[in-house]
Amino acid sequence: MKQLDEAIWSISGSQAGKKLTIVGGTHGNERTGVEVVLKLREMIEADILKITGGTCNLILGNPIAIIINQKRSGPFSPDLNRSYPTDLLNLEPDGSYEDSRARLIAPFLIASDVVLDLHSTTNPSEPFLCCLNSERHEEIYRWFTCDKVLADPNFITGGRSVTTDEYTEAHGGIGICYETGQATDTSRVDEVIKDILNLMSDLKLIDHKKTQSPNSKKEIFELVDSIIVTADGFRFAEGFGNQSWEQFKNGDVIGYHGEKALQMNYDGMTVFPHTPINKPEGSRVACLARKV
C-alpha cells in the first residue's frame, strides 16, 4: 500500500473498477474510525486483504487531533467536517490546519465513486448512517449493521454543503457518514470492518465471500430543525438531551429557552444532543428529525 501524503494511503487492483475512499479521524476523539482505518491498512500490508480491482484509499482525516485525542487540532480550530464548501479549491486558504487537511483530502473525495466517513457521537447513540436517501445510496448503505438512515437534504447541520459526504455528492460521488456509536466506544471496530469488507466485495474491490445478506429495510429520517441557544439560555426537559434518538410526540415539551417551553408540533426524534451548560448564544444543542 502506497503512502501518498501524511496519513493518506492508496492501493489499486490489477483490474479497473470503483474507487472507494474510507476516512477515519475527521474528528480526532472519535476512535472507532481511526482504529478501522489503521486495521484495514495493516490487513492490506500483511496481504490478508487483497485489493484485486478498483482503488481503495485510506485516510486519517485530522492527524494532530488524533494524536491529542480531541475533536479538533486546537481549541479555536475549525471543524474539519465543516471545511468542505463545494468550491473549496477555488477559495483562498484561511491558514488553519483543518483547512490545509481539507484541501489535501478534497481531490480524493472528488475522484471517488464512494466515500465512507466514519464518525461517532458525543453522547450515547445506536449506530446510524447519514446520507441522502435514494436507490444508489441504498445500494451502499444496505451493507451496514444499523437500523436508521438520517438524511439532511436541506443542510440543517452546516447551513450549506460543507461536510465530507456533501462535498463528495457535489462532485458526483456517493458520500456516506457512518455514526458508529459513542466516541469513546471502540467495541464495534470488527463489526464495522466486516460491513466494509462486504461493501468492498459488492463493489468488486476484493474477492471476498460476503458474510451476510444486504439489509435495505432501514428506517429513514430527515433532519428538519435545530435547537439553538438563545440569549435566555437553554435546558432540556427531563428525559431529553441524554442520547440520540430520543422520541418525542406532538405536544411534548422537550426543553426550555429560559422559562419559555419548547413544545413540539410534530412527532420526531432528537439527534446529536450536546450538554447545554455554558453553551454560548447561537450554539446548537441538538438536531430534530422526522421519519420519512
Alpha-helical regions (H) of 22-124:
31-45, 63-68, 97-111
User: What was the pLDDT predicted at 123?
Assistant: 92
Q: Are residues 180 and 268 in the same domain?
A: no
Q: Are residues 37 and 158 in the same domain?
A: yes
**Percent over 70 (pLDDT), the chain:** 100
User: What was the pLDDT predicted at 136?
Assistant: 97
Q: By the 8 A CB rule, do 242 and 225 touch?
A: no
pLDDT tens figures, 257-289: 999 999 999 999 999 999 998 899 999 999 999
Q: Are residues 137 and 282 in the same domain?
A: no
The stretch 213-230 carries a mean pLDDT of 95
Please enumerate in sequence order all residues whose Cβ is within 8 A of that of 189, keeping only pairs 6 or more positions apart, or say none. 32, 35, 36, 39
Predicted confidence band of residue 208 (pLDDT cuts 50, 70, 90):
confident
In a domain, 65, yes or no: yes
Q: Are residues 230 and 187 in the same domain?
A: no
Domain boundary among 202, 235, 264: 202
β 128-130/148-151 pair status: parallel
The stretch 110-130 carries a mean pLDDT of 97
In a domain, 214, yes or no: no
User: What was the pLDDT predicted at 188?
Assistant: 97
Q: Are residues 49 and 170 in the same domain?
A: yes
Domain count, the chain: 2
In a domain, 210, yes or no: no
CATH assignment at residue 245: 2.40.50
Q: How far is CA 53 from the centre of its chain?
A: 26
The stretch 226-254 carries a mean pLDDT of 97
Q: Are residues 61 and 25 in the same domain?
A: yes
In a domain, 216, yes or no: no
The stretch 218-242 carries a mean pLDDT of 97
Give the lowest-confidence range in 39-48, 152-161, 212-221: 212-221
User: What was the pLDDT predicted at 278?
Assistant: 85
pLDDT at 31 over 90: yes
Q: Are residues 276 and 134 in the same domain?
A: no
**H-run or E-run covering 241:** none
Q: Are residues 125 and 266 in the same domain?
A: no
Q: Are residues 272 and 134 in the same domain?
A: no
In a domain, 207, yes or no: no
Q: What is d(CA 32, CA 29) in angstroms, rounded to the nearest whole number?
A: 9
Give me the domain span that covers residue 20: 2-202
pLDDT at 216 over 90: no
Grid coordinates representing 276 are 447545554
User: What was the pLDDT predicted at 172?
Assistant: 98
User: What was the pLDDT predicted at 252?
Assistant: 98
pLDDT tens figures, 42-96: 999 999 999 999 999 999 999 999 999 999 999 999 999 999 999 999 999 999 9
User: What was the pLDDT predicted at 25?
Assistant: 98
